Amino acid sequence: MKKIMFVFGTRPEAIKMAPVINEIKKNKRFNLVNVITAQHREMLDQVIDYFDIPVHYDLNIMTKNQTLSLITALVIERLEEVIVYEKPDMIVVHGDTTTTMAASLVGFYNHIPIAHVEAGLRTNDLYSPFPEEFNRTLVDKISTLHFAPTSRSKENLLEEKIDSKKISITGNTSIDALDLTITEDYHHPVLDQVNPQNQFILLTTHRRENFGNTLTSIFQVVLDIVNKYQTIEFIFPVHPNPRVSELAYQMLGNQERIHLIEPLNVFDFHNIAKRSFIIMSDSGGVQEEGPSFDKPILVLRDVTERPEGVEAGALKLVGSDKQKIMTELERLINDQDYYQKISSVKNPYGDGKASQRIVETIEAYFDQ
């Protein structure tokens, strides 16, 4: 049996890795080893519990005021010991986190093949998003297998002289995860707080590049909308980072139609998103999942590494400009035909079978 090691440390990674891990678990050719770094402890644990992901090693690197340098150093130091002991035949990483970058380096230094799920995403701006653009570019340089979610992602890799034989277009595993979470029979206490005659906008924001004045602008739009439209409410699962939460409660707390709540587990988030009117987010995963919810997605970023959704018309890139966000929101609120056009776009990021394709490609690699 070949030993396949998965390394991840954040909530989005766990959501997108869960379907792949499930496929590996069902395959008798592979022995599974899961290593979590707990780069984001509490939010990661929610997903692990929900998907019942077995954890074989917990590096437990999370500290107060952790820096990117410290995360990198701790992952490299602690993962090295696990790899030397376990001797995996392949390491599977996901996306663009600091955990992913550091784990790939350790694998590379130990001559272990790296398989990169969600390979080839690019903005071509090294500092936006930061540090994700650097992380994923580095990981793709040293990976053996590249699982590109779309043809655009594959083209990005080919432009960087990655061997086409190492690239597979799989779709995005986030779409696979929706099959494990969405249900018709759903209830959450926050939905009871929303007037049944009203519609609610789901807001999420957490990216470093949106901290400070940018976040202030986004929150001001939220206030302006609820003041102008009495039938619109907001549900905002507040990220635990103090730079988000402190400003959120300062600006948006004690507002009757703005519901600030704790971060949602993946089951609750997907089902609340499915019932929303509009989704506003700077999350990469939400950009991928959103079209499957049949909702317009306003992307609170100036650039995106997921242009397929913008080109298809499912995503609207509004950045952090107050007037641009306000204009787009008002058009969606007031123009029903425009709303229907955006919310009916087919999801360009996958068909729910990405994990199956990934495991088949790993099998083929070891058959060579």
User: Cα(144)–Cα(113) distance, rounded to whole angstroms?
Assistant: 6
pLDDT at 65 over 90: no
Q: In CATH, what number does 189-343 get?
A: 3.40.50.2000
Domain assignments of the chain as residue spans, ordered by start:
2-179+352-367, 189-343
CATH topology agreement for domains 2-179+352-367 and 189-343:
yes
Instruction: Return all residues near 46 (Cβ < 8 A) that are at least 6 apart.
Output: 11, 263, 265, 266
Residue 210 pLDDT level (bands cut at 50, 70, 90):
low
Tell me the whole-structure pTM to 2 decimals.
0.87
For 304-324, how does the pLDDT look when each residue is reduced to its tens digit (9 = 90+)? 999 999 999 999 999 888 999
pLDDT at 225 over 60: yes
The mean per-residue pLDDT over the stretch 289-301 comes to 94
| Residue 336 C-beta-side C-alpha neighbours within 13 Å | 0
Q: Say if residues 120 and 141 touch (Cβ distance below 8 Å).
A: no
Q: Is 287 left (phi over 0), alpha (psi -120 to 50) or beta?
A: alpha
Instruction: Return all residues near 106 (Cβ < 8 A) that are at least 6 apart.
Output: 75, 76, 79, 80, 83, 91
Instruction: Return all residues near 2 (Cβ < 8 A) that are at least 6 apart.
Output: 29, 30, 31, 89, 90, 366
Residues that are catalytic: 96, 118, 132, 206, 208, 239
Superfamily name with CATH number, domain 2-179+352-367: Glycogen Phosphorylase B; (3.40.50.2000)
For 160-192, how does the pLDDT look when each residue is reduced to its tens digit (9 = 90+)? 999 999 999 999 999 999 999 999 999 999 999
User: Where is pLDDT greater, at 245 or 101?
Assistant: 101
| DSSP structural state of residue 31 | E
| DSSP structural state of residue 95 | T
The mean per-residue pLDDT over the stretch 21-35 comes to 98
